[in-house]
Structure 1
């Protein structure tokens, strides 16, 4: 089965790639989850739009990745969240909220799918969050979750 990936799938490819997969894997997993769309001549035009959007988000080269890593590692990101008396949050901190906090703290714009968080953040405290900027470069920064009034 020939499909076009719309999301990054580890071991398979990145958005915009046209790949050949087994029928069951494509029909039962990739298509229902929204990770891919069926290949057709009309969909081939959408591939260029997906690739153009991906290129605008991606970090171009190793030099730019190390520059962004330097910015992130010197950055102290703080977030305020609603919490109970024991320090347990009402809900949890998502990757999208972390990306917004990094941007608000004066850091670079990141892709939420590149974040590697230490499980679900459900309590107050400091957390180490890593970001895969480039296949060879990973940056780490500290996220400080405090109680909002």
Structure 2
């Protein structure tokens, strides 16, 4: 039986994909749980419209992310941190702190999970930090860590 998946189903397919499954699997599992619907000509037309809409939405999101990536590449986020002798920081700078300072200084709101740090920043100077804005779009943000005045 051919069915159209209404959600991603592990080991079977993705949303709006047409798949061939056994009659029993479709009638007893997929359809009652709302995971799939029988593939009718009317449903296939509707699915094609939804796919186009999803592709357009995805394209708009990618364009927004690319615009933001361009903007972020020209910015420098400055963070003052208490430091001791030899420029040793008393505490490290985390992704959360970078996101907070970016919002305060430039009005750009990012989630801390979007800022990709292998480990927190622990030294003075300018650091290049990678930012994931979309599955397909990444940007580089410059973070300048300076010693706080005593």
| TM-score, structure 1 normalization | 0.58
Task: Report SS of the residue matched to 2:103.
Answer: helix
- Work out whether 1:99 is the aligned partner of 2:99: yes
Offset from partner CA, 1:80-139 (integer Å, 9 cap, x none): 000001111001111110001111221410010111125321121111111100111001
Is the CA contact (8 Å cut-off) linking 2:65 and 2:134 kept in structure 1? yes
Alpha-carbon distance in structure 1 between the residues aligned to 2:113 and 2:146 = 24
Alpha-carbon distance in structure 1 between the residues aligned to 2:9 and 2:104 = 38
Task: Report SS of the residue matched to 1:89.
Answer: strand
Task: Report SS of the residue matched to 1:108.
Answer: coil
Structure 2 residue runs of 5 or longer lacking an equivalent are 1-7, 11-59
Q: Which runs of 4+ in 1 moved over 4 A?
A: none
| TM-score, structure 2 normalization | 0.57
Which has the larger Rg?
Answer: 2
Map of 2:70 onto structure 1? 70
Taking only aligned residues, the RMSD between alpha carbons, in angstroms, comes to 2.1
Map of 1:53 onto structure 2? none
- Structure 2 counterparts to residues 19-30 of structure 1, below 5 A: none
Alpha-carbon distance in structure 2 between the residues aligned to 1:106 and 1:69 = 14
Alpha-carbon distance in structure 2 between the residues aligned to 1:116 and 1:19 = 29
Task: Report SS of the residue matched to 1:86.
Answer: helix
Offset from partner CA, 1:8-46 (integer Å, 9 cap, x none): xxxxxxxxxx998xxxxxxxxxxxxxxxxxxxxxxxxxx
Alpha-carbon distance in structure 2 between the residues aligned to 1:107 and 1:76 = 13
Alpha-carbon distance in structure 1 between the residues aligned to 2:78 and 2:140 = 14
Residue 83 and residue 128 in structure 1: after superposition, are their counterparts in 2 closer, same or farther (change >3 A)? same
